[in-house]
Chains A and B, each alone.
Chain A
Amino acid sequence: MTPMIELRNAEKTFVMHLQDGIRLPVVRSVSFDVAPGECVVLSGPSGAGKSSILKMIFGNYRCDAGSIGVRHHGDIVDIASAEPRQVLNVRRDTIGYVSQFLRAVPRVAAIDVVGEPLLAAGIARDEARGRAGALLKRLNIPERLWMLPPSTFSGGEQQRVNIARGFISDLPILLLDEPTASLDGANRAVVVELVAEKKRAGVAMVAIVHDDEVRHLIADRLVDVASFAAAA
């Protein structure tokens, strides 16, 4: 099957100019593919560069060498060399990112924070709210909180709002950065279910998961990031 994501010799080094130009090599020769409907989990110790790889695929971190091919509307876009507006298009229509922390937007109600990706995709507000509400309910966010801005929520509630926002759209690629980090067992199980549904819908996923049990339940394949360690 044609992969959705193709990394070839991707490389990342940070140069810290404020610390005398010290070079921090993060990863080198990162090469792997992700097929539709597959969940690849990045493994390796903390600091090995798992999050950096996820951020490079999303275009949030620059890629210093190699290529990151992403299938977007049937064509391959190389995120490593794409123009900013191309990356924005890819993010709108192809790649979603679920981070650990919600970047809270002041004054926007939780239900609209969750529904926003649907609005951006041209779906009507009522339908967006309907789907957002259904997802918040599944993730056990009480209905009385839906109209409040999530900046006042607890850490776990904010994370669930963020998960709902990430899973609501029908994007063909999802990047999951510790989606279950501070969740209780019941909500972890909901996330596992959501991932399974995305797989059935043919979504390609790359995830970072520290919880062994969740990893075991969602991973189709492990990619060991330690093998991409960049020798300093």
Chain B
Amino acid sequence: MLDLVSNDQPLLVAEGLGKNYGRFAACRDVSFELYSGEVLAIVGESGSGKSTLLQLLSAQMAPSAGRVSYRMRDGVTRDLATMGEAERRFLFRTDWGFVHQDPAMGLRMAVSAGANVGERLMAVGQNHYGKIRQTASSWLERVEISPDRIDDAPRTYSGGMRQRLQIARNLVTEPRLVFMDEPTGGLDVSVQARLLDMMRSLVSELGLSAIVVTHDLAVARLLSHRVMVMQGGRVIETGLTDQVLDDPREPYTQLLVSSILPA
């Protein structure tokens, strides 16, 4: 359930974030706050810096400038840069999820679907085989994968099933924040619609916060509350998703919006 009122402390804060590769600035001076239950879309064409920004936000890459703070489950807000590697990894395995465009990067392709989901549960201390299998099986059902396929490895799955399995693997530990990098990227249009619809209901049922990088404005419209438009490493426009898409103000945003082919 979307509850934006009761939470007055942001979940994640980015302040003056930047990343340089040599003299090239991939991302500069990005600041925003993400509140619990909010879904933020980062849109822009390839090379606009959105994937770099996602890497910085999820502490997979150290920024050249600025910082990211995250409110931990105990309510204390921590600067990610001051956390130890072990602490960051634990956060990544439990309270965060990361959905890659290519499911092969987020899954272990040679082990069973059940083990892929169960592995994250073991990371949070569950060790009862029967319970883990039961939870894994109910998550497969939630992402519309027949529990009959629990013992099959994802390399035997279709692209859409792999992506749904990756989502199940991420959500099983009930993370509070999920990062998604072009989650519908490599999929057929019909498969995309099903996945989007499923993600939309999961996000609202679980009250998840999410940061979704996409070049597809339809994905942003369907999933996100707010949107940030990036161009040349900078955030050039930000606001409510329907406002930015229906009343775009910046020249580049107007170009993006007008480039959508009518359905």
Contacts and interface: CB of A to CB of B under 8 A. Distances in A.
A107 B243 contact: no
A107 B197 CA distance: 7
Nearest to A149: B197
A122 B1 contact: yes
A18 interface: yes
Interface in A102-122: 105-108, 119-120, 122
Interface in B234-263: 239-240, 242-243, 246-247, 249-251, 254-255, 258
B124 interface: no
B38 to A, nearest CB: 7
Interface size class of B (residues with CB under 8 A): 20 to 34
A147 interface: no
A106 B242 contact: no
Given A18-B258, A107-B194, A85 B243 contact: no
A61 interface: yes
Given A88-B225, A106-B197, A120-B1, A17 B250 contact: yes
Contacts of B243: 59-62, 84
A8 interface: no
Interface in B166-205: 193-194, 196-197, 200
B254 A84 contact: no
A227 interface: no
Interface in B19-36: 35
Contacts of A71: none
Contacts of B193: 106-107
B246 A16 contact: no
Contacts of A152: none
B242 A60 contact: yes
Contacts of A210: none
Contacts of A95: none
A17 B242 contact: no
B197 A84 contact: no
B225 A16 contact: no
A89 B246 contact: no
A113 B239 CA distance: 25
Given A84-B225, A85-B35, A88-B240, A120 B2 contact: yes
A89 B254 contact: no
Nearest to B225: A88
B4 interface: yes
Given A16-B254, A17-B251, A85-B225, 6 more contacts: A15-B249, A61-B247, A84-B239, A88-B225, A88-B240, A122-B1
Interface of A: 14-18, 55, 59-62, 84-85, 87-89, 92, 105-108, 119-120, 122
